[in-house]
Structure 1
């Protein structure tokens, strides 16, 4: 199984990195911002840089759609996992078109309101994971796995 881990740098990247017991023995690669924290944390990992800043940016979305297309056609992952933010959206939609399985993990600090990314990918994911039972009021089809922290 090949796994694509996609997310913004900072807290989103840290959140995905904490899933290491799952991905460490699998063929995997990362897509994140080319920033110091990502380069440091992923120095021994295969990483593709994406365009940023992404928040509510049509320019970033268009650039990241091109990056998404190229990366997914080159790597052909079986599974894409993300916890946001905006860079996950093109990876999930194009991945869905390619038949890739999708798992989205809603962020830890959003308990009673959806994130924009969560709202956008919720309808198409194979599994939507929340970390708080309260989040199931926002995402009724979600699976609550509890905190990974």
Structure 2
């Protein structure tokens, strides 16, 4: 199984990194911002740099959509996992077109309102995971696996 882990740097990347017991023995690559924290955390990992800032940036969305197509075509991942943020959207939609399984993990600090990324990917994901039971009121088809922390 080949895994693509996609997320912005900072807290979203930390969320994904905390899933290490799952991904450590898998063929994998990372899609994140080419920033100091990401380079440090992923120094021994295969990482591709995404374009930023992504929030409400049409230019970054277009560039990341092209990047998603190129990288996903090259890497041929089986599953894409993300905890956000906006950078996940083009990878999920292109990945869906390429037959990838999609797993989205809603962030820990949004209990009663959806994130913009969550709303955008919820209709197409194979698994939508929440970390609070209350989040299932927002995302009825979600699976509550509890806190990643």
Do they superpose with TM above 0.5?
Answer: yes
Structure 2: gaps of 5 or more residues: none
Match in the other structure for 1:37: 37
After TM superposition, which residue ranges in structure 1, 4 or more long, deviate above 2 angstroms? none
Give the 3-state SS of the residue equivalent to 1:114 in structure 2. Answer: coil
TM-score of the aligned structures, taking structure 1 as reference length: 1.00
1:63 is matched with: 63
Segments of 5+ residues of structure 1 without an aligned counterpart are none
Establish whether residue 20 from structure 1 lines up as the match of residue 33 from structure 2: no
Counterpart residue number, 2:107:
107
Q: TM-score, normalised by structure 2?
A: 1.00
Show the counterpart of 1:98. 98
The alpha carbon displacement at 1:37 in A equals 0.1
Match of 1:142 in 2: 142
Partners of 1:111 and 1:60 in 2: how far apart? 28
Take 1:57 and 1:115, find their aligned partners in 2: how far apart are those partners?
Answer: 16
Q: State the superposition RMSD in angstroms.
A: 0.3
Paired residues in the alignment total 149
